[in-house]
Amino acid sequence: MNKEIILEDLGSRDYKEIWDYQEKLFKKILDLKIRNRREELELRTPNYLLFVEHPHVYTLGKSGDVSNLLISEDQLKAKKATFYKINRGGDITYHGPGQIVGYPILDLENFFTDIHKYLRLLEETIILTLQDYNIKSERSPGETGVWLDVGTPFARKICAMGVRASRWVTMHGFAFNVNANLGYFDNIVPCGIKEKAVTSLNVELGQAKVDENEVKQKILTHFSNLFMAEIIKSDV
């Protein structure tokens, strides 16, 4: 089993460009697994973790309801935002500047074969990262992601998640609001969940801006510990 994960920090990149790149890496791993089984080989399958920030974009999962996008095509253009229907689970979400998006493209057969456990470890990665900032966060029953003040009128989501998996290979991932412009969430029903708010780390800390590189390092520490993996930084 290969427990090395190649980290690529891609900076600010267009959503469709990175979606296509994810699909390329995803297919590369799948093709290798198929070859291993067909030819009875034991070639190591690679694992990746992509960090990226996207320009303003709304994405709708395959089980989502397009009516949860509350603005027209013209209004999208006015806000310099784009919209895509995509192949992950979940409903609608927003990506934009000030948000750390993580796309783990893993062969889970290198780690464990349990999608439920995989999602819980992604959530735990963010929960532990927030704990480093003395913020208590948790899961909300039946609502994937990371939340604050669950079970109160002040419940709010700080990290959304949605994944796709095939033959135990994953893609898509999490979107962690660190310095996000929360006004863009007003244009959707986030994750299809009505009457619940969203928040961002800088808002919770009462800071104008949080050091995103510092947050990424904390995420990597917890991610590697939880998955018992070695992170290998790429020069991309």
Please indicate, yes or no, whether the overall pTM of this predicted structure exceeds 0.85. Answer: yes
Query: Is 167 part of any known ligand binding site?
Result: no
Strand pairing partners for 217?
Answer: none
| Residue 175 known to bind ligand | yes
Would you mind telling me the total number of residues written for the chain in this entry? 236
CATH-assigned architecture of domain 4-233:
2-Layer Sandwich (3.30)
Is the per-residue pLDDT at 111 higher than 70? Answer: yes
Q: What is the pLDDT of residue 90?
A: 79
Ligand-binding annotation for 102, yes or no, is: no
Residue 195: band (very low, low, confident or very high) from pLDDT cuts 50, 70, 90:
low
Sorting pLDDT into bands at 50, 70 and 90, what band is 191?
A: low
Average pLDDT, the chain: 95
Residue 193 has a pLDDT of 62
Q: Please tell me whether 173 is known to bind a ligand.
A: yes
Domain positions in the chain: 4-233
C-beta separation of 83 from 57 below 8 A:
yes
CA–CA gap between residue 1 and residue 104 (Å, rounded): 17
User: Does the annotation list 107 as a binding residue?
Assistant: no
Mean pLDDT along residues 161-187:
95
Task: Output the pLDDT for position 89.
Answer: 77
**What's residue 192's pLDDT?**
60
* 212 pLDDT above the threshold of 80: yes
The catalytic site residues sit at 191
